[in-house]
Structure 1
Amino acid sequence: MPKAYVFTRYGGPETEALIDVDKPVPGPGQVLIAVRAAGVNPVDWKQRTGYRRPGESADRAFPAVFGNEVSGVVERTGPGVDGFAPGDAVFGRPLEGGYAQYALLSTDLIARKPDAVTFTDAATLPVAAVTAYDGVGQLDLKAGQTLLVTGAGGGVGVAVVQIARALGLRVVGVASPAKKELLESLGAAHVPSGPDWTARVPGPVDGVYDLVGGDVLAEAATLLTDRTRLITAGAPPEEVEKLGGARVLRTRTNEGLAAVADLVARGALDPHVTRTFPLEQAGEALRTVEEGHARGKIVLEIAG
């Protein structure tokens, strides 16, 4: 039977397990893919603790498969599917988790993988890169303006820096000292995180893309004269709205997926996959992200 890495109830790492599961069957408008890679994101472990994205309300069925972004090869299509066929290389948002040998995807949240993009890189795009792409577009800063990014050394932050730089923005990245070399290699000015970090920001900023929330978000807001240029993917709506800002507005469309894949194919966006794990070591991969030790993106690679 196919394998999947799941959590059996809400809680901590003790709820996780690699188990046998039934092979999914695609319904109308769905495709079944043989997963080749799955991105590992902070939202994955947060969902294990009971976190729900804004707008989510349904109770989760257990065991629940981890994972929110995958790439792979179409094995079977459901009724009414046009435009995709067995053998197509694709990537997207899985309907029921992606830390698995097989996953279901809706044709509303799937795109073809360009030949120039590896399965590993493609698996980083549906959450991290599209979140970055949506947020930078939402801020609508002009070439030459300055964007400050908190949590700039993680998967989303690395994508934000590159997309912003490709648009001609000056970027200031707030991250731990260990991520200084990475951020400077991407063309960002590095500001070490920690107490009084705002005093170390070089010059005024025109927009803030927050990926941390809490005190860091509140401190970042003080750097802006126009709080409508404050967005977050690291805090709930009520936390940023009281500061005058907004959550990142996610488009969740095939067009967004295709746009970020094109950036990778053209060399304008490097997902910076810094470490890969097999499915059997999904727990270790998740701990790397959950404990804040990841630099760039962590990906599970799943043998075909």
Structure 2
Amino acid sequence: MPKAYVFTAHGGPEVEAFLDVAKPEPGPGQLLVAVRAAGVNPVDWKLRAGKRRPGQAPLSGHEVLGSEIAGVVERVGPGVTGFAAGDSVFGNPVTGGYAEFTLLPADIAAHKPDALSYPEAAVLPVAAATAYDGLRQLDLPAGATLLITGAGGGVGVAAAQMARHFGLRVVGTASAGKKEFVESLGAVHVPPGPRLAERVLEAAPDHRVDAVFDLVGGADLVEVAELLTDRGKLITAAAKETVAELGGAPVARARTSAVLDEVALLAAAGVLRPHVTATYPLDRADEALRAVESGHARGKVVIEVSGEAAT
């Protein structure tokens, strides 16, 4: 039977386990995909910890971890058009990504460009698509200055690169150890800590900030919000309730194939470098998730699944 890495209850790492699972059957509008690579994201351990998405079904038995993958279509479900067995695809699975097989909804899946490897494509659906959606939501003119808090993580890295491509000036907060990395993205680096807003203004071009793309929440979000005269230019992917109190908004996710196609084109053109910084085989999925859960991962972590997935 196919292998998968799952959680069996809500809690810490102790509720995770490797299991043999049945190969899923594609329903209407779905693709059965043999997974080649799965991105690892903070949302994975947060769901395991019990931070469920609104409207998400309660946990029953076990749930496969993982929210983004790239792989090869093995079979298409009823009503699917535009995809066929043998196609290389990527997207957000509905049956988890840390597995040898998963299901992708065809309407939020996209074809993998030949220029991208499976690990590179696998890290686009969550971080890069979130970054793209956020930048389109802010709709800033070229020359505007964008502050990204948490610029060294997956979403921040993608947002900084795309913002620079769109003609924006970028200031990014990240730990001192990520200074060189953040600067390599074309951003001005500012470490977190006391007097954050003041130090951001000192570092920012023309000593102003036109928008904030927050990825950390907490006290940093509250402080940097004071830099904006227009709170409509304050968005977050980390603290929905706090940003609402501050007059901003959460990132409005589109979750469409069209967005995945756009970020894939940017990646294939070299505008967006996926920055896969660590890879683990499926049988070390626990280590991959710990690397992300520690909060110190730089760029993107990927689980690579054998090309000879179990049948």
TM-score of the pair, normalised by structure 1: 0.98
CA distance in 2, matches of 1:62, 1:123: 27
Aligned position for 1:227: 231
CA distance in 2, matches of 1:198, 1:49: 32
Aligned position for 2:268: 265
SS in 1 for 2:107: strand
Q: Which amino acid aligns with 1:227?
A: R
User: Is residue 2:111 matched to residue 1:108?
Assistant: no
Aligned position for 2:73: 74
TM-score of the pair, normalised by structure 2: 0.96
CA distance in 1, matches of 2:151, 2:163: 12
Aligned position for 2:209: 205
Q: Which amino acid aligns with 2:297?
A: A
Q: How much has 1:57 moved relative to structure 2? A: 4.1
Aligned position for 1:26: 26
Q: Which amino acid aligns with 1:229?
A: K
1:299 to 298, 302, 309: 302
User: Is residue 2:255 matched to residue 1:256?
Assistant: no
SS in 2 for 1:286: helix
Aligned position for 2:45: 45
Aligned position for 2:96: 97
CA distance in 2, matches of 1:230, 1:11: 32
Task: List runs of 5+ in structure 1 lacking aligned partners.
Answer: none
Overall identity of the aligned pairs, in % = 64
CA distance in 1, matches of 2:83, 2:301: 28
Deviations 1:229-282 (A, max 9, x none): 00000112x211110100000000000000000000111000111000111111
Q: Which amino acid aligns with 1:221?
A: A
User: Is residue 2:30 matched to residue 1:35?
Assistant: no
Is 2:9–2:59's contact at 8 Å kept on the other side of the alignment?
no
SS in 1 for 2:95: coil
Q: How much has 1:113 moved relative to structure 2? A: 0.3
Deviations 1:23-71 (A, max 9, x none): 1111111110100000000000000011123x33421223100000000
**RMSD value over aligned CA atoms?**
0.9
Q: How much has 1:198 moved relative to structure 2? A: 1.9
Aligned residues: 302
Structure 1 residues 87, 145: closer, same or farther in 2, change over 3 A?
same
Task: List runs of 5+ in structure 2 lacking aligned partners.
Answer: none
CA distance in 1, matches of 2:60, 2:187: 42
CA distance in 2, matches of 1:92, 1:231: 24
- 58-67 or 180-189: bigger deviation: 58-67
- 8-17 or 186-195: bigger deviation: 186-195
- 72-81 or 160-169: bigger deviation: 72-81
CA distance in 1, matches of 2:86, 2:12: 37
CA distance in 1, matches of 2:223, 2:137: 21
Structure 1 residues 71, 57: closer, same or farther in 2, change over 3 A?
closer
Aligned position for 1:87: 86
Aligned position for 1:241: 244
User: Is residue 2:281 matched to residue 1:282?
Assistant: no
CA distance in 2, matches of 1:118, 1:187: 24
